[in-house]
A and B are shown apart, each in its own frame.
Chain A
Amino acid sequence: MAAAIAVAAGVPAFAAPPALNSIAPDFALKAVDGRNVRLSEYRGEPVVLHFWASWCGPCRESVAALDALGVSSGTPVLGVNLDGADRSAAVADSLHLKSPTLVDAQQSVARTYDVAKLPLTLLLDAEGRVRASWSGVPADLSALTPQLERLRQD
């Protein structure tokens, strides 16, 4: 509840996102294209998980950059959008996102991940462990890209 209020208000909560080297909790969400996507089905390759909302300014900038990174590197970038289904689809369309945009309108996954500040970006390795995270600020691509490259070579 506290996390949900914090997400809505954009203020930090007491909880924290998954710690480094911990396994990212599994979830299944519906994507804006109607597919159901389960995180654990991406085991075996690194994944970028990105929580964002249309009302969060830095998120829009960040999600576009991560989407471009996903397209250029072939890495799955899963964007978890906290708006409603219609809004998510409209924003994903307006930003021309190629990566899956998952709808978490009930914010159930955001609560599981204790998302206190947006955007939240997590870099997961092939086993689903959190290897890097950025909370409340756009992901630092100059740090994320080489880390991602290393994980892809492992």
Chain B
Amino acid sequence: MKPKSPLLLRVARLVTVFALLAAPLAAMPSEGDATNLKTVDQDVQALKKQLIDLNRDLFKLEEELLYPASTQVAVFLSVDVGTFFALDSVTLKVDDKEVANYLYTEREVQALHRGGVQKLYLGNLKTGSHEIVAFFTGKGPHDRDYRRGTTLKLDKTVGAKYVELRISDREASLQPEFVVRQWE
């Protein structure tokens, strides 16, 4: 007999917990009992945690199915300081095909400035050489409209590939700098 998958076992366990919780709730006296209520509350909290864990596992499973590690490419965006560049939007092209076009709100830019990293794109690429081009638009030094492109020649091997687009400041020239880094 084949063993059940851990995910199915967890779903089954969750259903059992639901059933066990429902029974005492139905039989509970109307005036209530502080101890019982506390136990029920703890059970509900535990149930909530299990649901969150299950949701996370399902999300991971979905990602593994849609974007297998052998073909997966993810592009992230981060901002380091960014005093010379106010980000407005990023357009991403993979092999000359536009795959992402993102407009940043003030709140999103603030989140990036606080160290947030945005997953800009997640997709699949065959093994071989590819070209990733990112166009950044925004306001540059002296509040001038600024548009800059950066290109990465990517050699996709077997295994997931992670690309980081990083906006930083070049203090020497008082200009923004757009760096592309690859992570295995």
Mark A residues whose CB is within 8 Å of B: 28-30, 35-38, 41
For A27, give the chain B residue with the smallest CB separation: B103
In the bound complex, CA of A58 to CA of B106 (Å): 33
- Main SS at interface, chain A: strand
Q: Kindly list the 3 A-B residue pairs having the minimum CB-CB distance in the complex, ordered from nearest.
A: A28-B103, A36-B103, A36-B105
Q: How far is the CB of B118 from chain A (nearest CB, A)?
A: 13
Specify the chain B residue showing the minimal Cβ separation from A37. Answer: B105
A136 CB to closest chain B CB, in angstroms? 29
Chain B, Cβ-Cβ closest to A35: B106
Question: Is the CB of B104 closer than 8 A to any CB of chain A?
Answer: yes
B177 adjacent to chain A (CB < 8 Å)? no
Q: How far is the CB of A88 from chain B (nearest CB, A)?
A: 16
Asked whether any CB of chain A lies closer than 8 Å to the CB of B107, the reply is yes
Q: Decide if the interface of chain B is mainly helix, strand, loop or mixed.
A: mixed
Inter-chain contacts of B108 with A (CB < 8 A):
38
Inter-chain CA distance A37–B105, complex, in Å, is: 6
Quick one: CB contact mask for B68-95 with A, threshold 8 Å, 1 for yes?
0000000000000000000011000000
A112 to B154, CA, bound (A): 33
A-chain residues with CB within 8 Å of residue B106 when the two chains form the complex: 35-36
The answer for the CA separation of A52 and B88 in the assembled complex, in Å, is 25
Can you give 17 contacting A-B residue pairs, CB < 8 Å? Answer: A28-B102, A28-B103, A28-B105, A29-B103, A35-B105, A35-B106, A36-B88, A36-B89, A36-B103, A36-B104, A36-B106, A37-B105, A38-B103, A38-B105, A38-B108, A41-B105, A41-B107
